[in-house]
Amino acid sequence: MKTLAALFFVAVLAFAQLHRPVQQFATSAGMVKITPIQHASLMIDAGGQIVHIDPWGSGNYDGLPPADLILITDIHGDHLDPKILPKVSKSGTVILAPAAVAETVHNATVIRNGETKTIGPFQIEAVPMYNLKRGPAPGKLFHDKGRGNGYVISYGGKRFYFSGDTEGTPEMRALRNIDVAFVCMNLPYTMPPEEAAEAVRAFHPKIVYPYHYRGSDLNAFAKALEGSGIDVRLVDWYYK
């Protein structure tokens, strides 16, 4: 019976792996594979190195390798989940995070808005992520400027942008030479699809994926970018 149970477990893991919507991108240093996990959580596999961004226990991490590098964007629970960190870490794992996260994750190395760090083959740039107008009450914002980071990861001559929770800030609009962008959209915490599309038009990545989009109309986002020359790719981030 134990053998049958073990075989069943292996089969379940294999099924889950086959159905993960892995995205692949060619670079001068080899292939980059990006695996959506859940909401804003994802895994990057490049050059034998593993990066987890915003690991969250609501996602399915069964069968996935631990990280050489973890990037955390913000203090909210769908981005900062201390309980999952041991599962996706190993000896030598580096964690980069804003100072507000480091108050909870004490082994994190702080990276602030505008700073750039090189970890292994990756160059990591911290981009401001914040609300311009949306918040829980008048005079308050869901995400204050300076608290959280989006990230631009450069690898093999390609630049990958992960927005984190943000509206279409001047810093986002000023980005240049982004090959692949992952851009949030959901209300009330970030921005609706039409606003996200307007910001994306401004910095004009070659490819864009909506993520962190629970409940949003992705077709509205795609329609708003028609004729822009930007390759809009819609992927299920809420698969099981």
Residue extents of the structural domains in the chain: 21-232
pLDDT reported for residue 19: 79
| Predicted local confidence at residue 14, as pLDDT | 41
Joined tokens for residue 7: 């075989």
- Cβ atoms of 38 and 60 within 8 Å: the answer is yes
Residue with tokens 């019976």: 1
Q: Which two tokens stand for residue 23?
A: 């995205």
**The two three-digit tokens of residue 239, written as one number:** 């698969």
Both tokens of 18, joined, read 């086959």
φ, ψ (nearest 5 deg) of residue 171? -65, -40
pLDDT values of the chain reduced to their tens digit, one per residue, 240 residues: 556 544 433 334 444 455 799 999 999 999 999 999 999 999 999 999 999 999 999 999 999 999 999 999 999 999 999 999 999 999 999 999 999 999 999 999 999 999 999 999 999 999 999 999 999 999 999 999 999 999 999 999 999 999 999 999 999 999 999 999 999 999 999 999 999 999 999 999 999 999 999 999 999 999 999 999 999 999 999 987
In the block, residue with structure tokens 């808005």: 113
Q: 120 - beta bridge partners?
A: none
Q: pTM (2 decimals)?
A: 0.92
> CATH class for domain 21-232?
alpha beta
Distance between alpha carbon 3 and the CA centroid of its chain, in Å? Answer: 38
Q: What is the pLDDT of residue 125?
A: 98
Instruction: Name the phi and psi angles at 102, rounded to 5.
Output: -65, -15
Contacts of 138 (CB under 8 A, 6+ apart): none
Q: What is the pLDDT of residue 3?
A: 60
Phi, psi of 5 (to 5 degrees): -65, -40
The DSSP element (H or E) to which 95 belongs, if any, is strand 94-97
pLDDT at 8: 38
Q: How far apart are CA 40 and CA 210, in angstroms?
A: 10
